[in-house]
Amino acid sequence: MSTRTTASVSTHILDTSVGRPAGGVTVLLAARGGRAAAWQALGGSATDADGRCKDLPDLPEGTTHVRLDFAVEAYFEKSEKNRAEAQQDAPANRDSGPGVFFPEVAVTFAVVPGEHYHVPLLLNPFGYSVYRGS
């Protein structure tokens, strides 16, 4: 029987402003082996039509911390028209600044070997939430 020596990571994004998956969002993955170690960029992927990244790179052995970087600004710029139609009672453009308050979302978390970490991102133009899913 083989024992997994690295952790694994998956993610998906739900756009809570329209109640749908967020497709086409670039997600970059980085890892490090200890708090003082430098981040190692591992590559990335983009979410599919169901908002899921199914092909994130594997984590190297010795990984203790993982960072997911979500490039959400381009997603919101591309889907601005769709959001405005879905949010009929909310203005598409706010007087308080740009249409996207958080252009990027970086999520950093600790991992242990052998565990799987599913990290969903619940997203809207003015806020976000993450949690450890299953």
Q: What is the pLDDT of residues 51-79, one digit of tens each?
A: 999 899 999 999 999 999 999 999 998 87
In CATH, what number is assigned to the domain containing residue 112? 2.60.40.180
What's residue 90's pLDDT?
Answer: 53
Question: What is the number of structural domains in the chain?
Answer: 1
CB atoms within 10 A of CB 84: 15
Domain containing residue 52:
8-130
Classify residue 13: in a domain, yes or no.
Answer: yes
Classify residue 75: in a domain, yes or no.
Answer: yes
What's residue 1's pLDDT?
Answer: 45
Residue ranges of E strands in 4-115: 8-15, 20-21, 26-32, 40-46, 52-53, 65-71, 104-110
Beta bridge partners, 9, equal 117
Please give the mean pLDDT across all residues of the chain. Answer: 87
pTM, two decimals, is 0.84
Classify residue 81: in a domain, yes or no.
Answer: yes
Classify residue 2: in a domain, yes or no.
Answer: no
CB atoms within 10 A of CB 93: 10
Classify residue 3: in a domain, yes or no.
Answer: no
